[in-house]
Chain A
């Protein structure tokens, strides 16, 4: 462990010189790492601690006194309809996006991996990945048009096939589905990329053996790839969930018109938090929401580690 290798000096036949160079090395290490550590403390550790602290206080941004209220903020949050609405929407978006992303990206990655030697392989990877790198706002604007009730291609397609046009961005349930679609479209490329790495690292001999035993592609996908890729599935699920719980820009663009036709506002956690802090001037209350977000993320990560360890023991 760390303590046994306090000084990693491989050639210790230079005993006398060693002490001097050890000291020199230590000072280099300190000087090289100090700026990074200082910045970390300043812009990460401190504000994280502040979030935890502020969540126990009531502070309206302007007044000087900041009364300590204990867990009052949390108690109030769980009776606050807007917050409950936000957390339900956010959870629906996070789990919905995961439910779409995981199976779709796994199958897509399997097919792209199967066609690695195709001359279009580079195109497939790039095309699937572009939605992941495009800035959120332009991408969301493109989808906003797709979902537009009157002019949007989606409704026109539905009508063309004899269906009934839907008020996609005006209905409470439909607008959440729209956000799920947008988020999934964006995370899909990430999922495919990680799964591709997974497929490339799978042992080829096992597949060869299965093929000789007469397994076809679909069978070896379900009975071999899916179980073998479980750690990756777990990882991608948690990453998707965590980023889903942080959804903000998508809801901001897709479902919050301030002018023109009033789209329905899909309240999500980050939006509710920012509104409480900067519009309602309830900083302590908003910090309590941030703490809840933190707890959700920690629980999800904990579950991931727990499941991985369980696997390791088997």
Chain B
């Protein structure tokens, strides 16, 4: 390759990099400004053009949010709901995915196919009858009630099944059986350690799914102390529509930690999502 074409392609790449960089910053801009607005005084929030670094940063908005709303309570509710849902989904998906992959009993396969077929049905379709089931149990306004909608995940079973087929050789299981190992021992000591990657990916997916869900909690939770953070914020924003700085502070307080967690766990997350695209 000649020198001139080399520099030309380098210049082109630099241009592409700048373009991508600008696009990324623009995409993040609403969130960055939201965070910045949380630290601004009511006067500075009206300034045009908006400042990304507040000139006179204040924590006043955060003080007010935490004193006027049970924000910590809401975060606690969301966290417990998301963690419990994650644990339930990981346990049910791992067990079921392993069985479906390695135990070829036709009864199990038929039922599994039936359940997998329901994966395309959105939650919103069967939310109302599910609400009455939760109500009958007296579990409205509780984390248990919320959880009922998020105990299983069809895609989770599918993800584990694919990974068991790809990563757990039959010979290994058979060898353990010949050595006299019990089935649960094999599952726990041989299969689970081989599935660390997919289990991590599934955990992150399940956690974020519960953390960000909106329609189900808004139906099940009506008491302020039982709100998840999403429902709490939504109600808060309709009550304080005029107080922009306060709303921004509340949103930022919730958003920043979850974005940080995402950036830390990015690889697992991306793996899980990418796997979902490879369905067929």
Contacts and interface: CB of A to CB of B under 8 A. Distances in A.
Interface residues of A, number: 105
B129 A146 contact: no
B51 to A, nearest CB: 12
B128 A32 contact: no
A43 B148 contact: yes
Given A114-B16, A127-B24, A261-B241, A193 B274 contact: yes
Contacts of A125: 266, 270
Given A129-B270, A133-B269, A137-B237, A142 B128 contact: no
B280 to A, nearest CB: 7
Contact of A50 (B126, B183, B234, B242): B126
Interface stretch (B57-65, B192-200, B209-217): B209-217
A32 B93 CA distance: 10
Contact of A44 (B99, B103, B152, B218): B152
A65 interface: no
A183 to B, nearest CB: 13
Given A2-B109, A28-B184, A50-B129, A43 B151 contact: yes
Given A6-B104, A33-B95, A44-B152, 9 more contacts: A26-B105, A43-B152, A126-B266, A137-B229, A137-B237, A232-B277, A242-B122, A260-B241, A290-B125
Nearest to B270: A193
Nearest to B186: A28
A33 B96 contact: yes
Most chain B C-beta atoms within 10 Å of own C-beta, residue among A134, A231, A249, A291:
A134
A93 interface: no
A283 B128 contact: yes
Contacts of A286: 128
Contacts of A231: 280
Interface stretch (A71-79, A170-178, A270-278): A270-278
A229 to B, nearest CB: 11
B214 A137 contact: yes
A3 B106 CA distance: 6
B146 to A, nearest CB: 12
A259 B241 contact: yes
25 contacts: A3-B106, A24-B183, A29-B108, A39-B151, A43-B148, A54-B128, A108-B23, A115-B17, A115-B20, A127-B27, A127-B28, A129-B270, A130-B28, A130-B31, A135-B229, A139-B30, A141-B251, A142-B30, A142-B33, A194-B274, A246-B122, A246-B124, A294-B125, A297-B121, A301-B120
A37 interface: yes
Name B's interface SS: helix
A219 to B, nearest CB: 15
Contact of A188 (B27, B114, B177, B215): B27
Contacts of A197: 274, 277-278
Contact of A8 (B93, B102, B114): B102
Interface in B44-73: 45-46, 48-50
A200 to B, nearest CB: 9
Interface stretch (A81-89, A95-103, A116-124, A202-210): A116-124
Interface string B213-243: 0110011000000000110011001110110
Contact of A185 (B27, B121, B124): B27
